[in-house]
Amino acid sequence: MKVYTTGCPRNCYSTCTMKVYVENNRLKRIESHPGNQATREGPCLKGLSYIERVHSPHRILDPLRKIGWSGEFEPISWDVALETIAERLRHYRAAFGPQSVFYYNGSGTKGLLNIVGTAFWKLYGGCTTTFGDLCWSAGLEATRLTLGENKHNAPWDIAKAKLIVLWGKNAAETNIHQMPFINEALDGGAKLIVIDPRRTESSERAQLLIQPRPGSDGAVALAIAHLLIRNDKLDGEFIDAHVHGFSEFAEMVEGMTPERASQISDVPVGYIHEIAGLIGEVKPVTINAGFGMQRYTNSGQTMRAILALLAITGNIGKPGAGWIFANLQSHIFDKVKDPIAFYPPKEPDGVVRVSVSTAKLGRDMIETDDPPLKMVWVERGNPVTQNPETDTVLEAFRSLDFRVVVEQFLTDTAREADIVLPAKTMFEQTDVINAYWHTYIQLKQKVMDPPGNVKPESEMYFRLAQRLGIPEKDIIEECIPGPTDADVEAFLKKKLEPFPELSIERLREGPVLAPGQEEVAFSDMVFQTPSGKIELVSQQAKDWWGVDPLPTYVEPEESIRQKTPESGKYPLYFLTPNTKDRIHSQFNNLDMIRDLSPAPFVEIHPEDARSRGITDRTMVRVFNERGSIELEARYDYSIKRGCVSVTNGWWISEGGTVNICSLGRETDMAHGAAFHDALVEVERAR
Amino acid sequence: MQKGFLFDVNKCTGCSACQIACAIENELPIGMAWRRINTFNAARIPGIPVFHHSRACYHCLDPPCMKYCPALAYSKDPVTGAVTIDKELCIGCKYCSWVCPYDAPQFDPVAEVMEKCTFCEHRLSVGEDPVCVSLCPTGALGIADDNLQDGNRNTLGFPDSGAKPAIQFVDLREERSFPRASGSGGTGLSVSVGDDRKTTRDRKISLSNEWSLVVFTLIAAWMTGYLTATVVSTVRIDPALFLTAGVAGFLLSTLHIGRKRRAHRAMLNWRQSWLSREVILFPLFLAAATLYLIGVPHLSSVGWMCAGIGFAALFAMDRLYGVTGARGLNQHSGQVVLVGLFVAGLIARDVPTVVTLAVLRLILYAIGKHHLRTHRGNPRWALSLTRVFIGLVVPTAVVAFEFERFFVYAVVGAAVGELIDRCEYYMDMEIPTPRGQMSNDLAMAIAGLDPTGQSARRVTE
């Protein structure tokens, strides 16, 4: 058996390093790798399940073509598949211009080779693509506006904290490798506060679980700031030296008394005093904000308000202290980092039209004109289940002329395709990956040949470019590597060239910390903001996004406090968190995982259930004016009353995606998707 | 040195990586798991912690599976302490799964034998930890190799048994047991997790699976009773009919065995296993009965010997269920020794025996019903009255008042009554399981939250 070191490229905090054992082109065993200090205990259940995923009988191993309107697919040769696509591409370019082709890529896998897609579409003559992001826009932008950069202390540094606030994060399920460090901190006497409408696996070891009304976290944060200022629990020296706009901020939060915040958020006043007391007294404080909280229409401001708590107490740039949201210190290959990288360009190049908002995918696709969209190419994504407003996304896809989806399995999106191209897995092509929690650069090694007729995307593009008559020299120059493993390695070597610490040979042995990474972020007190300080007042926030320069509290658009006809009809907040069993819509199709997680269910407080005549484990309908899904109800005695919860990522074919009930709508800043502004009603299924 | 698992309840997040790692390492088919997660308070009742136990075989110091396996298929490694089953020796009778309070042995429906966690002996032998330990992402699972004899096993939600499981628990720390929550619904909450409990109750033995054993044990009891009656009275039986019933019963008893060709192995553990003893005694009874009925017709001394063997077989049958630890089984009115004695009295028209046993069984039956009503809901009143009236009252009256004309009705009534009682014996048999223990402990915790005890009551229903 041969043993390789590799890294898991999923859209996940942990980005584990692992050892894989391969025999006769089959994956036999996956083990932990001690070289990654952040994930040394071993991969999660999903990482282990690659053993099934790679060799699954349901995997797509040939190009597929839809047979008429039947919904069935038939395998075809690469020749036929590529020629069909090339013919269409030539036709659309001639008849409508290259921008009638829509290129959609998701976050399904990390890697430097992901840029090959855009390179191809430029060679083709252009395309239309998306701006914004489903995942983390508002939080990235709030952090950038406040601290200047998205980086944080090393993952293991949280063990030094004396107060940990998991604000809207359920690390036990979404970042399990953080739990040993949190546990270490607790062993050392640290306190843990969790702020979440749900009682989660992560809140189980907390002293306090604060359950605000969804979307109202900003008000809680501002009231805490109010108390810190009123009780003079500030780090005056730190504020003077490193904080911009403190006096305006102090003036603003004077109005946000704990009483008012309590009215807004449903958090009892006593609890707000208690958190403020802890944040004021204990040092160092680490606040780790999750991604869910920043998917509301007010969430950029929410995140800025929470950040301010660390700024005014001097909990930045020190061991055991700080703001954990996203650590982009390993994103060394990006000339422009997120979130700026996914904003529409100030000066469009006229080749790639960046005009479709990811958050409003369906509607923007339908409304695109001059030229209208005729064809879509989807890779690394499953927008039918994962983008807001499923019905509109489906309508947009179905109104196109031609659809190509690159996939490993027949997902809801792949089922919409005319041609499905079989995608590689992480074990079938070498690539270099970064991370957003730890700062290791890793080699995701090719450890086996792709099974069946699977080809890596780079080779698909290479062959397609050849078919379109583009000379090979131009293809390679445009950063599409040739089809051999040596070509791919040459491509990666070129990318690694500027970093002498990072050679392919060195990375083959194990992960390497990104050059220049800081264990304690901002310890130099350099903040890349316009003022060079931590900005509580941000003119850029106003100029770019039209929000108040101060992190004021604004009620989300879809809220029971907005007295609209809808808020009366749909009184329940629809929470759609992630689960340990999936990365979004990946993994639950595997038998191993399905055995643990057989079907979707909605968690509901028994009192909310009873008033609707719903009993435990009976079928119910969750709905609003956008759509409805039917699933089983489960009592959860600790979920905040007025909230119901279904984990996201289920396919329509598995029982229904939660996005049937969400609306395509952007966050207050950074073109994020505000899926979590969602109200529903639940009733017994008929 | 005997090794064991170490489990830190504070660290486990119930992530199931251990289960998946185990399934991959041991190439288990989907649906089979040697290690599983059990969750305490999955409905997240406020004021009660939510925690998990990752459970597999605990490689007990005194393993009941090995002790009671009739086929001697189990062994315990003298070095590591690993308890393993030899699939070539196993007959697939599933008895080990009844006597193990930790649900470790599982039936492999393809090979039709039992299988279980091997403690990853193949890894231990090359100095590696079991895969569940080495891949636990939070470090909750570990290896303990000292103090196992009197290690900490008395932890919430864990069935403590006399088996000395090789496990050390790190208990849930008080200050980390559950969060104080700001959300609404903390006080005055009426808790009803009856449905949750229904799904978490494991029924290792169910009537639908074990109907052949119901029939077999009843046949054995009636044969023993009838034969005894012929010794003490002038009643006679048709040897052909009698022996046919015996052979039929014997064949029925082998139905639930996975590997019937190896069924003879069931006799091997006569030193320790009541199952082996039953398997030896029943054919012996048939042989003795043949001698008694055909060879030396109705020779009293052979008759007594034969009855003795029959009752010994019945006693073994009762004991083999008794050692599972199922509550109330040793006082159940459906025990076959009681059935045999009652039948003997009935057929011999022996008034003192019939009356004594009818009264005794009525009392036991009533106690059983009372337990059922207070602990698990439906006591099946209509069925119970039928059982008592036509199965005990009618036969007793017929014998006591010598209504010989109605004797056939008395026998039919008794047969129906015994069938009901015996079915209930299997239906009521709740063998301790890890999940059952969690349910019981949760009910206690809920009762502790609510001074009136009302909600605990609802939970148990």
What pLDDT score was predicted for residue A187?
Answer: 95
Asked if pLDDT for residue B103 goes beyond 70, the answer is yes
Tens-place pLDDT, residues A446-482: 999 999 999 999 999 999 999 999 998 888 877 899 9
What pLDDT score was predicted for residue B436?
Answer: 87
Least confident of A172-181, A660-669, B256-265: B256-265
Q: Do A637 and B183 touch (CB under 8 A)?
A: no
- The alpha carbon of residue B167 is apart from the nearest alpha carbon of chain A, in Å, by 21
Residue of chain B minimizing CA distance to A52 = B24
For residues B157 and B11, is the Cβ–Cβ distance under 8 A?
A: no
Asked if pLDDT for residue B454 goes beyond 60, the answer is no
Q: Do A638 and B180 touch (CB under 8 A)?
A: no
Q: Give residue B360's pLDDT band: very low, low, confident or very high (50, 70, 90).
A: very high
Candidate from B31, B33, B46 with C-beta closest to A637: B46
Q: Counting one residue from A and one from B, how many pairs have CB atoms under 8 Å apart? A: 153
Q: Which CATH architecture has domain A560-684?
A: Beta Barrel (2.40)
What pLDDT score was predicted for residue B192?
Answer: 57
Asked if pLDDT for residue A609 goes beyond 90, the answer is yes
Q: Which helix (H) or strand (E) holds A44?
A: none
B295 close contact with A: CB closer than 8 A: no
Q: Do A172 and B181 touch (CB under 8 A)?
A: no
For the domain with range A2-54, which CATH number is right: 3.40.50.10490, 3.40.50.150, 2.40.50.100, 3.30.200.210?
3.30.200.210
Percent of chain B with pLDDT over 90: 70
Q: Give residue B198's pLDDT band: very low, low, confident or very high (50, 70, 90).
A: very low
B189 close contact with A: CB closer than 8 A: yes
Average pLDDT, stretch B97-114? 94
Q: What is the ipTM of this complex?
A: 0.95
Candidate from B50, B136, B175 with C-beta closest to A42: B136
Asked if pLDDT for residue B132 goes beyond 80, the answer is yes
Tens-place pLDDT, residues A149-184: 999 999 999 999 999 999 999 999 999 999 999 999
Average pLDDT, stretch A516-543? 98
Asked if pLDDT for residue A127 goes beyond 80, the answer is yes
Asked if pLDDT for residue B450 goes beyond 70, the answer is no
Residues of chain B in contact with residue A176, where contact means CB-CB under 8 angstroms, are 13, 15, 137-138
Q: Which CATH architecture has domain A138-328?
A: 3-Layer(aba) Sandwich (3.40)
Tens-place pLDDT, residues A14-63: 999 999 999 999 999 999 999 999 999 999 999 999 999 999 999 999 99
Q: Give residue B200's pLDDT band: very low, low, confident or very high (50, 70, 90).
A: very low
Q: Give residue B191's pLDDT band: very low, low, confident or very high (50, 70, 90).
A: low
Output b/e per residue, B111-124; b: 16+ Cβ within 10 A: eebbbbbbbbeebb
What pLDDT score was predicted for residue A88?
Answer: 98
Q: Would you list the domain boundaries of chain A?
A: 2-54, 64-132+343-425+449-479, 138-328, 560-684
Q: Do B20 and A49 touch (CB under 8 A)?
A: yes
Tens-place pLDDT, residues A206-236: 999 999 999 999 999 999 999 999 999 999 9
pTM, whole model, 2 decimals?
A: 0.94
Tens-place pLDDT, residues A72-89: 999 999 999 999 999 999
Residue B259 contacts by C-beta under 8 Å, 6 or more apart in sequence?
A: B90, B91, B92, B112, B113
Asked if pLDDT for residue B219 goes beyond 50, the answer is yes
Tell me if the domain spanning A64-132+343-425+449-479 has CATH number 3.40.1440.60. no
Tens-place pLDDT, residues B23-48: 999 999 998 999 999 999 999 999 99
Average pLDDT, stretch A295-314? 98
CATH fold match for the domains A138-328 and A560-684: no
What pLDDT score was predicted for residue B189?
Answer: 55
Mean pLDDT of chain A: 96
Residues of chain B in contact with residue A220, where contact means CB-CB under 8 angstroms, are none
What pLDDT score was predicted for residue B328?
Answer: 82
Tens-place pLDDT, residues B377-404: 678 889 999 999 999 999 999 999 999 8
Percent of chain A with pLDDT over 70: 100
- The alpha carbon of residue A324 is apart from the nearest alpha carbon of chain B, in Å, by 20
Candidate from A41, A581, A637 with C-beta closest to B137: A41
Tens-place pLDDT, residues A359-400: 999 999 999 999 999 999 999 999 999 999 999 999 999 999
What pLDDT score was predicted for residue B457?
Answer: 43
Q: Give residue B184's pLDDT band: very low, low, confident or very high (50, 70, 90).
A: low
Percent of chain A with pLDDT over 90: 97
Asked if pLDDT for residue B202 goes beyond 80, the answer is no
Asked if pLDDT for residue B451 goes beyond 80, the answer is no
Tens-place pLDDT, residues B413-441: 999 999 999 999 998 888 888 988 898 89
